[in-house]
Amino acid sequence: MSEPYDPASTPSIEVRVFRHGELIERHLCESDEEAAVLVEQWSEVDDVNCFVDDLSFHHRVGDVLEPEPAEPADEDYPHEPAAEPEA
């Protein structure tokens, strides 16, 4: 049985490593320090760029917009009744 989701226990920092515009490595880190060590290690490699993203922002209920119900039909354009089949 899987354990309940705990956002605090999941890695919250992503380090992406690119060479010549192509993603070559992706690491998920649990701390700023761990991410900094990875970036420092990759900085010694030529023609490599590192991007670090903080993934810790989590949406809470109410943060995401919910769709509003459709507006009622305009009275100027009432629904037309279905055509009756010809006999």
With a cut of 60, say whether residue 7 has pLDDT above it: no
pLDDT of residue 45: 92
pLDDT of residue 55: 84
pLDDT in tens, 11-67: 789 999 999 999 999 999 988 999 999 999 999 999 999 999 988 766 566 666 666
Nearest to 38 by CA among 57, 10, 16: 16
Task: Count CB-CB contacts under 10 A for residue 12.
Answer: 19
